Amino acid sequence: MNVCVYTLGCRLNQCESEAIADSFSQEGFTIVGESEQADLYIVNTCTVTSKAEQKARRMIRKFALSGVVLGTGCYAQVNEEELKTLSDNVIVVPLEKKAHLLKLAKHLKASLVAGFDLKSGCLSFSDGQASVFDYDAASFSYHSRSFLKVQDGCDNECAYCRVHIARGKAVSLDSATVVQRALALEAAGFSEIMLTGVNLTMYDHTHKGLGGLLEELLAELGPDIRLRLSSLEPDHIDERLLATLSDPRMQPHFHIPVQSASNKVLSRVNRHYDIEGLSSILDRLRLAKDDPFIAADVITGLPGEGDEEFEETFRYFSEQQFAQMHVFPFSPRPDTPLFKASDRVPESLRDSRALRLRELSDRLYNSYVQRQIGKEAEVILQNRKAGSWYGLSGNYLEVKVPNAPLFAREGLLVRGVFAPLDEGTGKPIVLCHA
């Protein structure tokens, strides 16, 4: 029986989806991609933007034409009723019960053997106990790299955010279990582990923090494993964390949800840092690594963003030479303090600002790629097409590796040097060392 796990939203969702897919694969189900026919679809939704919710509804309707759909995730948590009405083939599993899906495969296998149909099998399932840290995949169906969830929830209350409402208060997986799971992934042959959470820098923030966790991991893991961090909120990037980043096993890639470079706007939307503090963090990241890939999230049209505040933001991103920006036009989310804000920016202005920032992002990305030429590179191989391997570099560039070794395989870490861009694909080329 074919199962498709379709994911929207953040890396944490991807990590949790992989663990769910792994639990089905271990029970003998076949995991397939979204373009293949499946009997059961699990749609792991996101509520960050109205666009993400729209896409979830579209995909759920589409999948429901050919199979049973389990809709779960943050959107399913905050608007269960809306998803229920999409089709009779849809069963909603709110976020608080998402971890129960890790045990569904075993139950379904037994109920199918007993002669129940798939939908009845799903409806008859209930599991009493599940923790947000039960997601512990041993294999990954949709990625060549491994993910490890170490944190969930968030204690901040950014005025535009619905995620902290869906996910609840910050909680952390104890460091001994994190280390034990990381060692298992290393022993299974993974070259890279990405640490994920809703707000990763809130990992055990009242005690030793993310820096303390990284110290433990780096002390236990071998020299050939690489650690990548999912997005880092600026407000808990402390000295201890910064000190671990110069370890060569830490990937030179950082993703920071900056959102605005105007202190006035940051304070209006209840962010907990200012732009001067962020600048000194960026300086430290660049001291720890040689020209790391620093990506940023930006929201245009936040309430209170006048022309002056936007120009301030534009100038800042341009001067700071971010490698890439993920630009989101502000969409007011129900149940958040900004839902009925009176100082809203007109949509046309919000969108034209987004366009300007996206054009800036393209220019910054191209200039980042160009200045890598001639530099050393590490690449984790992902797939092979027309005789060449493709992969992801430590600094997060999708690259072509035309001369990978004969023993190359998905997930292998290779070393080489960045060469000029491939004319056919437009991707940077990495030539492996002989």
User: Residues interacting with ligand SF4, by CB under 6 A?
Assistant: 154, 156-158, 161, 163-164, 198-199, 233
CA distance 47 to 214: 30
CA distance 333 to 331: 6
In the bound complex, what is the minimum distance in angstroms from residue 421's beta carbon to ligand SF4? Answer: 35
In the bound complex, what is the minimum distance in angstroms from residue 291's beta carbon to ligand SF4? Answer: 27
What is residue 250's DSSP assignment? B
Nearer to ligand SF4, 108 or 166 (CB): 166
What is residue 395's DSSP assignment? T
Q: Are 131 and 99 in contact (CB under 8 A)?
A: yes
What are residue 250's DSSP bridge partners? 227
CA distance 143 to 210: 24
In the bound complex, what is the minimum distance in angstroms from residue 202's beta carbon to ligand SF4? Answer: 8
Nearer to ligand SF4, 168 or 402 (CB): 168
Nearer to ligand SF4, 208 or 272 (CB): 272
Q: Are 120 and 112 in contact (CB under 8 A)?
A: no
In the bound complex, what is the minimum distance in angstroms from residue 198's beta carbon to ligand SF4? Answer: 5
CA distance 396 to 36: 28
In the bound complex, what is the minimum distance in angstroms from residue 375's beta carbon to ligand SF4? Answer: 33
Torsion angle (degrees, nearest 10) of CA 251, 252, 257, 261: 170
Nearer to ligand SF4, 209 or 428 (CB): 209
Nearer to ligand SF4, 47 or 251 (CB): 47
No. of H helices and E strands in the chain?
Answer: 14, 18
In the bound complex, what is the minimum distance in angstroms from residue 76's beta carbon to ligand SF4? Answer: 17
> What is the CB-side half-sphere exposure of residue 164 using CA atoms within 13 A?
15
Helical spans, DSSP H, in 65-222:
74-78, 80-84, 104-113, 118-123, 163-167, 175-187, 209-220
In the bound complex, what is the minimum distance in angstroms from residue 170's beta carbon to ligand SF4? Answer: 8
Nearer to ligand SF4, 158 or 380 (CB): 158
CA distance 126 to 205: 34
